[in-house]
């Protein structure tokens, strides 16, 4: 084999190795990539049930029901709203201490075919002034908060999703 052919062979093998490594890296990123959606985003363009995503907004006032799941673990159902729409959520496990009605929440899970969201993780905001950036963006898009006007209004004013929309959100 001539020197030129050896050099070409080494370059081809290096290119093949680099391409394989890139493909494996992109596949790993795609499997671990989790998007954030507000309830309005989910209703406008529902994600597939095989894809996990984050659903964020506010816990709708009067929607929290606690109980025990079939496995004996604590369970809860509640609705997450962005002020315009709401999605029913089911969760099996212990809720965070800061979880309460009218507070910001981000849940991780999957949308079921019946329109309910099954959460595997629930995160509550950690103090009176913090709001996850995704939740703030969703509230701005829904017209419930203008950052130029200062701090967000009280959470009770954001929970305005009418019950008539329950049929649309699967609840």
Question: d(Cα 110, Cα 134) in Å, to the nearest integer?
Answer: 18
Residue 111 has pLDDT above 70, yes or no: yes
120-144, pLDDT tens digit by residue? 999 886 555 556 677 777 777 777 6
Regarding whether 76 and 58 lie in a shared domain, the answer is yes
Query: Residue 57: which CATH number?
Result: 2.40.50.140
pLDDT of 103: 83
pTM of the full structure = 0.61
Rounded distance, CA 122 to CA 29, Å? 23
In a shared domain, residues 86 and 76:
yes
- Domain count of the fold of the chain: 2
Same-domain pairing of 100 and 131: yes
135 and 152 within one domain:
yes
Residue 25 and residue 47 in one domain: no
Residues 55 and 128 placed together within one structural domain of the fold: yes
| pLDDT value of position 68 | 87
Same domain (yes/no): 79, 150: yes
Judge if 86 and 11 occupy the same domain.
no
Q: Are residues 88 and 115 in the same domain?
A: yes
Residue 70 phi, psi (nearest 5): -65, -25
pLDDT digits (tens, 9 = 90+) for 57-109: 889 889 999 988 888 888 999 999 988 889 999 999 888 888 888 888 999 99
* pLDDT reading at 118 higher than 90: yes
The model's confidence at residue 16, banded by pLDDT at 50, 70 and 90, is: very high
pLDDT at position 23 over 70: yes
Same domain, 50 and 79: yes
Q: What domain range is 24 assigned to?
A: 1-33
Same domain for 49 and 131?
yes
Q: What is the mean pLDDT of residues 158-168?
A: 44
Three-class secondary structure of residue 57 per DSSP: strand
Residue 21 scores a pLDDT above 90: yes
Same structural domain for residues 49 and 83?
A: yes
**Residue whose pair of structure tokens reads 């209004």 in the numeric block:** 153
Neighbours of 43 (CB within 10 A): 19
């Amino acid at each position: 084999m001539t020197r030129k052919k050896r050099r070409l062979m080494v370059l081809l093998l290096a290119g093949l190795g680099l391409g394989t490594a890139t493909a494996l890296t992109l596949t790993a990123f795609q499997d671990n990539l989790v998007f954030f959606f507000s309830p309005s985003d989910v209703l406008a363009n529902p994600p597939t049930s095989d894809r996990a995503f984050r659903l964020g907004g506010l816990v709708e006032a009067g929607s929290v029901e606690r109980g025990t799941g079939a496995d004996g673990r604590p369970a809860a159902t509640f609705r997450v709203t962005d002020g315009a729409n709401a999605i029913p959520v089911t969760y099996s496990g212990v809720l965070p201490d800061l979880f309460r009605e009218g507070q910001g929440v981000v849940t991780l899970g999957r949308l079921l075919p019946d329109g309910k969201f099954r959460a595997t993780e629930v995160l509550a905001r950690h103090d009176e002034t913090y709001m996850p950036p995704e939740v703030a963006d969703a509230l701005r898009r829904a017209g419930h908060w203008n950052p130029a006007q200062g701090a967000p209004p009280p959470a009770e004013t954001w929970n305005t999703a009418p019950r008539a929309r329950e049929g649309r959100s699967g609840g």
